[in-house]
Amino acid sequence: MSLRTVLFAFVLAARCASAQSAAATTPLRVNVLRSFDAGRLLAGVDDVRGASDGGAALFEVIGPPNGVVVITFTLPGAMRGDAASPLVLDFGPSSAEVAESLPGVGARAFDPRQPYTLQLPASGRAIVALGASLRVPRAQGVGRYAGAATLSVRQLP
């Protein structure tokens, strides 16, 4: 088996929509803390970068303390890069996690393919992590790969 390196990263975007009342004092916002980075992959060897791994994408959701928000991801099915063939991504029931801080005690896994309703903690801040499974065929070309994942957050009244 030859060692070939495949590098890639998600290009991340975040957006939020709010149904805040005039009484709300903390506006809803999302910050991208870290892009997804799987590092080096071996051609022909599938890999998993879980939400708890160091390469997971990290988002910070800030809003009203104890406010309820809905998190929705738009996920790429593959990433394109230097080689002709795309690098296929899979997301499953525990590919995302949310907690007051990550890695952290009390992190709750969720399926990023489905909207997720979250009550923000008393601090008004939660960290969302996103990982992925990577299907790396034997013929995967060497190079850098990129894709786009979007996290949207909507505040419920």
The per-residue pLDDT for range 68-85, each reduced to its tens digit, is 999 999 999 988 887 667
In sequence order, which residues have a C-beta less than 8 Å from that of residue 114 and are 6 or more positions away?
none
Which pLDDT does position 145 carry in this prediction? 83
- Determine the Cα–Cα distance for residues 83 and 49; give it in Å rounded to an integer: 21
Name which of 14-18, 109-113, 143-147 the model is least confident about.
14-18
Q: What is the mean pLDDT of residues 17-41?
A: 73
Confidence (pLDDT) at 108 = 94
What is 5-155's CATH number, 2.60.40, 3.40.50, 2.70.98, 2.40.128? 2.60.40
Angle formed at CA 54 by CA 29 and CA 4, multiple of 5 degrees: 125
- Could you tell me the pLDDT band of residue 9, with boundaries at 50, 70 and 90? very low
45-69 residue pLDDT tens:
888 888 888 888 999 999 999 999 9
Helix/strand number for the chain, H first, E second: 0, 14
The predicted model gives 24-44 an average pLDDT of: 84
* Residue length of the chain: 157
Residue whose tokens read 């005039």: 22
| Residues 6 or more apart whose Cβ sits within 8 Å of residue 22 | none
pLDDT tens digits, 89-134: 999 999 999 998 766 668 999 999 999 999 999 999 999 999 999 8
The C-alpha atoms of residue 151 and residue 136 are separated, in whole angstroms, by 25
Q: pTM of the entire structure?
A: 0.82
Q: Which amino acid is at 103?
A: P
Sorted by where each begins, the domain ranges of the chain are 5-155
pLDDT recorded at residue 27? 86
